[in-house]
Amino acid sequence: MQGKILVTGIRYHAFHGLTEMERQVGVRHCVDVEMIADIGRAVECDHIEATIDYRKVHEIVIQVARENSFHLLETLAGHIARRILVALPCTEVTVRLRKETPVLDGMVDSVGVELTLEREETRE
């Protein structure tokens, strides 16, 4: 039984961007992760070992975001998606990444990117 597992609204402060200010002072980011996985066993047995642990997803997002500094949100989203596909038993992952209060001339709530990777795309 295929299902979607969602972890949304992961917020953190990090140092990604094109401007010197973003890379030195940092800005707040928000990430949503959507994973396609076989959840049939979890439906039947009610054990965390039978599904994807939300804590691990959160840990991966924070770890990738804080241990790196990328110029592009696309690059950061791609690294998060690949790490999730390698570490967790999902067949597809979508990462929605927003930079909140971006450094732009004028008022903008956020800028962002959405990226979907399938397990086959991570194989070489």
pLDDT tens sequence across 12-56 = 999 999 988 889 999 999 999 999 999 999 999 999 999 999 999
Please, are residues 22 and 103 in contact by the beta-carbon 8 Å criterion?
Answer: yes
As a whole number of angstroms, the distance between CA 64 and CA 120 comes to 21
Average pLDDT, the chain: 93
The confidence band for 105, taking pLDDT boundaries of 50, 70 and 90, is confident
Task: Render pLDDT for 49-101 as a digit per residue (tens, 0 to 9).
Answer: 999 999 999 999 999 999 999 999 999 999 999 999 999 999 999 999 999 97
Domain ranges of the chain: 2-122
Q: Assign a CATH topology to domain 2-122.
A: GTP Cyclohydrolase I, domain 2 (3.30.1130)
Q: What percent of the chain has pLDDT over 90?
A: 83
